[in-house]
Structure 1
Amino acid sequence: MISMDEFIEFVRGGPLGPIKKWGTKWSLWPVHLVTACCGAELAHAFACGYDGERIGALNYGIARQTNLIIVEGAITRKMAKVLRITWEQMPDPKFVIVMGACGLQGGIFWNGYHMVKPSDVVPVDFFIPGCPPTPEALLRGIRQLQFKIETGEAKTSATFPEVPLEAGRKPRVLPKSPKKISKAPAVIVNAPKEVDWEFGQKLVEEIKAKVEAKSVTITGKNRIAVKVESDYIPRAAMRLREMGFDHVKNVNVIDVPNEDKFIVEYHFSSYSVKELMPVIVNVFADIPRENPRVKSLASMFPSADYMEREMHDFFGVIFEGNPWMGRKFLLAPDAPEFPLRKDFKLEEEVYVR
């Protein structure tokens, strides 16, 4: 009686080996991991025009019944876990094709804090360059994978002719970094704008009467900016709720390093009062960059909770009273701290001969 290991070796390399390779070659079922625009090219490659199924590949949606991942687009730190779990669920033999500039080197996001190369997460068999690659290029990559399955040899299908350099040609000069750091312009959140909005003028007068604000400004049709002291934000929010603004639509942080401050914004709107539904009131305050703290509105407006956590992840602003402070919420555990701060160090361009 033969052992299981001997049986597996017999199937893979014995008389049945060529039959198994032939079956695998013509039975590639990709689970497509669409994270960006390359998914459109994959759809094109398997639509009626190119009909990828005619070369033995058929898209399938269940990882445990597939043997090929086609990564279409950028892989972030959070998506890296999804890619790895998908790959681990697939039965052997399994293969990975990465298509597009984002999967190869990050594409336009190459120095982003959140980017991960798929080849650092799973073993990749073939890369298909392009932004985006053409459907022909994807099918060509699948054919090269089939060649590898059949022969055991992985080789590129791209060939480049040898071009002799001209005699006496001047040496190439590497370009300098195009980056230039300049002083940021002033950030004006409450820039006034002349608009024909009678109801807005009445709202401004009502807000001035109820809210201790530094300024109340119409910044556009259905847009009002209210500047307050940072400690006064909860009280201003309570006054707005009494007026009918029943939810926080957005929480935002603006980093102004040349003024050594953050600007924290809460955008209020209404679902319950018809006249207020199109109106957005922006209550904002300056807070110091060194110790950025502001009182949370999560207990008063539950819709603010999620967004306060997000701003804490990205900028490090402490929303006092929100229980999520001090731990990561949206970012992966190994993501760098506070990546949207202006002083976050991005990877520099490197030029080589």
Structure 2
Amino acid sequence: MDEMIEFLHKGPLAPLKKWGTKFSIWPTHLVTACCGVELAHAFASGYDGERLGVLNFGMARQTNCIVVEGAITRKMARALKITYEQMPDPKFVIVMGACGIKGGIFWNGYNMVKPFEVVPVKYFAPGCPPTPESLLRCFRSLQKEIDTGEAKNSIVYPEVKKVEEGKKRAKRVPPSPKYVANNPSVIVDMPREEKWAEGKEVVAKLSEILGELCEKIKITGKNRVAIRIKKDNFVEAAKKMLEAGFDHVKSVNVVDVPHENKFIVEYVTSSYLNPEYRSILVTLISEIERSDPVFPSLIEVWPSADYLERELHELFGVWFEGNPWMGRKFLLAPDTPETPLRKDFKLQEEVYAGGE
């Protein structure tokens, strides 16, 4: 018997402890994804989970149950462990949703951790999304276990009988085969131009600002412009963009293209202060060799690029020359594999189980 349940069944006050715990399960919810909506549904007026003696509570030190809603990453596992350890005994954990049980759509991600490897889990509510009924089933099952000391599933599926030898099996549609396609080339420029009346005028201004530094410029959407710039000219081009009024970087991105042995580096810039450019996003694009991923940092031009460069250094291994944070851990948990978003990082493969 689980030690928490065993505690409730021992001593002269056992009936009182069981009764009090059964009808005062106060789950704190560890929300990392969309399952929080289903939990809210289960305790809203339609289902009214509180009538069962279950009341959502916000503080770990005054609660006796955790409901894990969503995927648990390596960094979030520490928060889950700390929350569990702060709770008074007896305490229980319920996991809801496919993400919490096995990672969901992120099942083969480098950063996924299964909650039952971190804390002892009592019950699972499967599904994507799980229904409010399935979550309330978990609470009812927990209450029955507190009462009887015996853990039981709320649903038992019948066993599948094996086909006897000599009998024909019913025909089934075969599972879809797994195809591995050749890697397509990565095309940065979009082939069509969106309807944007001022677009050509903006492109003409940007071409004039950058001059020979601009290798290629193209409208990629309404209020969107992409500019190709060689790596050696990137810092100078950024300075010219800053002088023109593009005063910050909104995002920095790296695209890994292993079959072409290159990284595509993108800086998306815009303006807060210049009304003319406030609604426009200009993406500066360059390429570097994958075998020598060094790129000049732009923090001296745009300080807002600092956080993003640190992040991409950890995820892809690109060294942003001039950023003092290079070579140090910043975003990821200490035990995370090196450069996990590079496509040569080995992910868990899909397993296809065919019928007999």
Give the TM-score normalised by structure 2.
0.90
Partner SS for 1:64: helix
Partner SS for 1:277: coil
2:71 aligned residue = 74
Shift of 1:163: 4.4
Listed as ranges, the matches of 1:129-148 within 5 Å are: 129-148=126-145
Shift of 1:68: 0.3
Query: Structure 1: where are the runs of 5+ without partners?
Result: 1-8
2:168 aligned residue = 169
**What is the identity, as a one-letter code, of the residue corresponding to 2:43?**
F
Shift of 1:292: 0.3
1:5 aligned residue = none
Is 1:283 aligned to residue 284 of structure 2? yes
Task: Specify whether residues 142 and 11 from structure 1 end up closer, same or farther in structure 2 by C-alpha distance, changes over 3 A only.
Answer: closer
Partner SS for 2:33: coil
Task: Specify whether residues 341 and 179 from structure 1 end up closer, same or farther in structure 2 by C-alpha distance, changes over 3 A only.
Answer: farther
In 2, Cα distance between equivalents of 1:164 and 1:226: 64
Say whether the 8 Å CA contact 2:141–2:153 is kept in structure 1: yes
2:105 aligned residue = 108
Please say which of residues 214-223 and 140-149 is displaced more in the overlay.
214-223
Is 1:186 aligned to residue 186 of structure 2? yes
State the identity as a percent: 59
**What is the identity, as a one-letter code, of the residue corresponding to 1:182?**
N
Q: Which residue among 206, 209, 233 is the counterpart of 1:207?
A: 209
Task: Specify whether residues 203 and 136 from structure 1 end up closer, same or farther in structure 2 by C-alpha distance, changes over 3 A only.
Answer: same
Task: Specify whether residues 292 and 13 from structure 1 end up closer, same or farther in structure 2 by C-alpha distance, changes over 3 A only.
Answer: same
1:126 aligned residue = 123
Is 1:246 aligned to residue 243 of structure 2? no
In 2, Cα distance between equivalents of 1:94 and 1:11: 11
Is 1:34 aligned to residue 31 of structure 2? yes
Say whether the 8 Å CA contact 2:95–2:101 is kept in structure 1: yes
Say whether the 8 Å CA contact 2:163–2:169 is kept in structure 1: no
Say whether the 8 Å CA contact 1:262–1:289 is kept in structure 2: yes
Q: Could you say what the CA RMSD is over the residues aligned between the two structures, in angstroms?
A: 2.3
Say whether the 8 Å CA contact 2:242–2:301 is kept in structure 1: no
Aligned residues: 344
In 2, Cα distance between equivalents of 1:10 and 1:267: 58
In 2, Cα distance between equivalents of 1:114 and 1:106: 10
Task: Specify whether residues 220 and 26 from structure 1 end up closer, same or farther in structure 2 by C-alpha distance, changes over 3 A only.
Answer: closer
Please say which of residues 251-260 and 58-67 is displaced more in the overlay.
251-260
Task: Specify whether residues 49 and 57 from structure 1 end up closer, same or farther in structure 2 by C-alpha distance, changes over 3 A only.
Answer: same
The one-character-per-residue Cα deviations of 1:155-210 (angstroms, maximum 9, x if unpaired) are 1111122443444234999957624141222322365637532431431342343x
In 2, Cα distance between equivalents of 1:12 and 1:41: 32
**What is the identity, as a one-letter code, of the residue corresponding to 2:184?**
A
Task: Specify whether residues 226 and 27 from structure 1 end up closer, same or farther in structure 2 by C-alpha distance, changes over 3 A only.
Answer: same
Say whether the 8 Å CA contact 2:8–2:146 is kept in structure 1: no
**What is the identity, as a one-letter code, of the residue corresponding to 2:92?**
F
Say whether the 8 Å CA contact 2:25–2:55 is kept in structure 1: yes
In 2, Cα distance between equivalents of 1:12 and 1:164: 39
2:3 aligned residue = none
